């Protein structure tokens, strides 16, 4: 079974590399042909939290730039796609995927934020689109080396905003990911988990990115906790206005994620440190939009959107 991993950033490399290490047939689709060439020549390396280094041999997988996907797929279709790019890259990837003659596959979306699942499901009616929510974190050291930040949890399920699911497809990926060393479960309530993760990201990501601190350091001062609380309160008020259910201990869950990922640099903090576009629009921006829909204002979320969007970007 061919697993196509689209996007070889930190999470893409970590999941894809671990699947190859576990014996799966993986094709990486990279943003640049340079990264694909490096992967093909040198293989890749995953540094595990326990100090082990998993070396994925060159020759044991395929890697190409994403632009060549339609041509290759039309000759040799894959079975499962893991879409690992950031939200900001989805549009471009979708444009490339529309060139595939018939994209008959299970497509697993690993993005933070909301909104992308129904858009992808509508654009590719012959795929089954699933959502994956993860607390795994990784840091890309080089184009071909990644360090896993700790042991997280991955949940996969079918969103009510996507087409009819095939349970066996979810179970197959769950099984493969567990064998590759990821604690993975299937979930019947993935939409609830998406909204749960949205709050977690909307509180942790912009603040860690603004203060340039690892997740755990958010808890170390009253001022930082107060800022977190303000974002949290606004987000759950917006959920209440939309009748979106959330766990009564969601605040404690946000704190628990800061603790369990205390030495991680959030994905948004990493983007800001590298001068890259962030996922702020899909995270806090979606809370601002939901607030507006309900005739409310989410002022703290609006402010962090402006602060993050005003950060200098680096070319390339």
Q: Are strands 153-157 and 128-134 parallel, antiparallel or unpaired?
A: antiparallel
C-beta of 226: minimal distance to ligand KPL in Å? Answer: 19
Question: Which residues of the shown chain bind ligand KPL in the complex (CB under 6 A)?
Answer: 112, 135, 137, 200-201, 204-205, 215, 257, 261, 264, 266-267
Query: Which two three-digit tokens encode residue 97?
Result: 């995927």
- Residue closer to ligand KPL (CB basis): 68 or 259: 259
Distance, CA of 6 to CA of 143 (rounded, Å): 15
C-beta of 112: minimal distance to ligand KPL in Å? Answer: 5
User: How many helices (H) and strands (E) are present in the chain, helices listed first?
Assistant: 12, 12
Distance, CA of 83 to CA of 93 (rounded, Å): 9
C-beta of 41: minimal distance to ligand KPL in Å? Answer: 30
Residues 6+ apart with CB under 8 A from 223: none
- Residue closer to ligand KPL (CB basis): 266 or 284: 266
At which residue do the structure tokens 């943003």 appear? 31
C-beta of 133: minimal distance to ligand KPL in Å? Answer: 9
Q: What is the end-to-end Cα distance of the chain in Å, rounded? A: 34
C-beta of 29: minimal distance to ligand KPL in Å? Answer: 21
- Residue closer to ligand KPL (CB basis): 97 or 177: 177
Per DSSP, the three-state class of 180 is coil
C-beta of 125: minimal distance to ligand KPL in Å? Answer: 30
Distance, CA of 215 to CA of 262 (rounded, Å): 5
- In angstroms, the Cα distances linking 290 to 122, 155, 190, 242, 295 are 21, 25, 19, 8, 9
- Residue closer to ligand KPL (CB basis): 78 or 152: 152
C-beta of 205: minimal distance to ligand KPL in Å? Answer: 6
- Residue closer to ligand KPL (CB basis): 9 or 137: 137
- Residue closer to ligand KPL (CB basis): 47 or 264: 264
The torsion angles phi and psi of 244, rounded to 5 degrees, stand at: -90, 120
* Of 118, 112, 273, nearest in space to 196 by CA: 112
C-beta of 208: minimal distance to ligand KPL in Å? Answer: 7
Report CA dihedral (177, 181, 183, 189) to the nearest 10 degrees: -10
Going by the DSSP 8-state scheme, the letter that residue 50 receives in this structure is T
- Residue closer to ligand KPL (CB basis): 124 or 232: 232
- Residue closer to ligand KPL (CB basis): 121 or 198: 198
């Amino acid at each position: 079974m061919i697993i196509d991993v689209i996007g070889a950033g930190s999470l893409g490399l970590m999941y894809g590399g671990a699947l190859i290490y576990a014996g799966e047939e993986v094709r990486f689709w990279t943003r640049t042909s340079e990264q694909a060439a490096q992967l093909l020549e040198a293989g890749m390396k995953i540094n595990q939290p326990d100090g082990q280094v998993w070396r994925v041999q060159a020759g044991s997988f395929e890697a190409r730039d994403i632009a060549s996907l339609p041509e290759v797929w039309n000759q040799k279709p894959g079975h499962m796609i893991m879409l690992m790019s950031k939200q900001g890259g989805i549009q471009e990837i979708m444009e490339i995927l529309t060139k595939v003659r018939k994209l008959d596959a299970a497509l697993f979306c690993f993005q933070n934020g909301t909104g992308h699942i129904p858009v992808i499901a509508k654009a590719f009616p012959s795929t089954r689109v699933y959502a994956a929510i993860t607390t795994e974190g990784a840091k890309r050291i080089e184009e071909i080396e990644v360090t896993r930040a700790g042991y997280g949890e991955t949940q996969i399920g079918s969103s009510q905003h996507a087409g009819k699911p095939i349970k066996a497809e979810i179970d197959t990926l769950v099984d493969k990911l567990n064998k590759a060393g990821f604690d993975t479960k299937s979930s019947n309530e993935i939409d609830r988990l998406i909204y749960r993760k949205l709050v977690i990201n909307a509180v942790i990501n912009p603040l860690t990115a603004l203060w340039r601190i690892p997740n755990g350091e958010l808890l170390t001062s009253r001022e930082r906790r107060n800022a977190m609380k303000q974002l949290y309160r606004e987000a759950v008020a917006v959920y209440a206005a939309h009748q979106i259910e959330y766990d009564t201990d969601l605040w404690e869950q946000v704190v628990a994620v800061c603790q369990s990922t205390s030495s991680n640099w959030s994905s948004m903090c990493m983007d800001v440190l590298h001068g890259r576009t962030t996922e702020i629009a899909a995270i806090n921006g979606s809370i601002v939009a939901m607030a507006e829909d309900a005739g409310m204002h989410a002022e703290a979320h609006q402010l962090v959107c402006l602060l993050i969007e005003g950060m200098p970007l680096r070319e390339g």
